[in-house]
Amino acid sequence: MLAVNGIDVYYGESRVLTHVGLSVADGQVVCVMGRNGVGKTTLLKTIMGLLVPRRGAVEFRGRNITRRPPYERARLGIGYVPQGREIFPGLTVRDNLTLGARRKQPAPERLDYVLALFPALGGMLGKRGGDLSGGQQQQLAIARALIADPALLLLDEPTEGIQPSIVDEIAEVLQRIKREGRRSILLVEQYLEFARSICDRFYVMDKGVVALEGERQTFDVDRVSALLSV
Ligand SMILES: Nc1ncnc2c1ncn2[C@@H]1O[C@H](COP(=O)(O)OP(=O)(O)OP(=O)(O)O)[C@@H](O)[C@H]1O
Ligand SMILES: [Mg+2]
């Protein structure tokens, strides 16, 4: 599904990712962990095309997409939920979803699908995004990405700063997507338990490199927490 091969990514002259590689198979949930500032968001932005690597390549469903702009990647089937959610505060919930659908109106079956995943949003379609709680905004951001029916969903710290009850709801939705088996998820997550409960494969980054990776069975809580502790 997705293969990131040896990418180096810079901001100006400062190198933030060094030879980072990662792969996500069909239907898999893959987690990326790591302390603040190690380059997790930079990695997702490079996969989405918001940053272009100086070396290395990004392949999606067998195509080299390294130089493709973000809108083409979205069209090819990559959905992105950015860190901090970035919903449009002045637009209604419905209009935020319509933007995610990238057409004049979301197809009714797509709208039904995301409202079945996040029933609370159904009662808020006319509300302004900015009037939702942080947790509701996060759910809206995930729904906005899912409404385009992506084959790969990129999620950047969806539980950050969210109340525990909504974290549980988001975990349930991700488990449900996993059971459906129709899409892959690449999840950046700092909460170790959340990541461990859902991942098929994991990566731990440290200062711009992959420091540890493996299948779920090899997830060693002590080793991972050592890399996450400051
Ligand atoms: N636009 C930018 N210009 C210059 N440096 C940047 C920029 N964005 C991020 N950085 C730097 O790149 C490094 C990696 O940042 P990145 O946001 O990818 O980390 P992160 O792992 O997502 O951190 P966090 O857990 O805080 O979200 C950090 O040192 C950060 O200061
Ligand atoms: Mg980040």
pLDDT at 215: 95
Is the pLDDT at 207 greater than 80, yes or no? yes
Looking at every residue in the chain, the average pLDDT score rounds to 95
Please tell me the distance from the alpha carbon of residue 183 to that of residue 113, in angstroms, as a whole number: 14
Spatial contact of 143 and 117, defined as CB atoms under 8 Å apart: yes
How far is residue 121 CA from its own chain's centroid?
20
pLDDT at 106: 86
Q: How large is the C-alpha radius of gyration of the chain? A: 17
pLDDT at 103: 82
Over residues 102-160, the pLDDT tens digits come to: 888 888 899 999 999 999 999 999 999 999 999 999 999 999 999 999 999 999 999 99
Is the pLDDT at 230 greater than 80, yes or no? no
Residue 155 CA, ligand 2 centroid: distance in Å: 10
Residue 180 CA, ligand 2 centroid: distance in Å: 28
Over residues 22-61, the pLDDT tens digits come to: 999 999 999 999 999 999 999 999 999 999 999 999 999 9
Of all protein residues, whose CA lies closest to atom 18 belonging to ligand 1?
Answer: 39
Over residues 55-113, the pLDDT tens digits come to: 999 999 999 999 999 999 999 999 999 999 999 999 999 999 999 988 888 888 999 99
pLDDT at 102: 84
Domains belonging to the chain, first-starting first, are 2-228 (3.40.50.300)
Q: Which residues fall within 8 angstroms of residue 139, CB to CB, at 6 or more apart? A: 118, 120, 121, 166, 169, 170
The response to whether residue 45 sits with its C-beta less than 6 Å from ligand 1 reads no
Is the pLDDT at 13 greater than 90, yes or no? yes
What pTM was computed for the model?
0.96
Q: Which residues fall within 8 angstroms of residue 202, CB to CB, at 6 or more apart? A: 30, 31, 32, 33, 195, 196, 212, 213, 214, 216, 219, 224
The response to whether residue 41 sits with its C-beta less than 6 Å from ligand 1 reads yes
State mean pLDDT over 195-207.
95
The response to whether residue 34 sits with its C-beta less than 6 Å from ligand 1 reads yes
pLDDT at 26: 97
pLDDT at 105: 86
The response to whether residue 46 sits with its C-beta less than 6 Å from ligand 1 reads no
136 to 42, 93, 145, 160: CA distances (angstroms): 25, 10, 14, 13
Which amino acid type is present at position 128?
R
Spatial contact of 161 and 155, defined as CB atoms under 8 Å apart: no
pLDDT at 225: 93
State mean pLDDT over 174-197.
94
The response to whether residue 39 sits with its C-beta less than 6 Å from ligand 1 reads yes
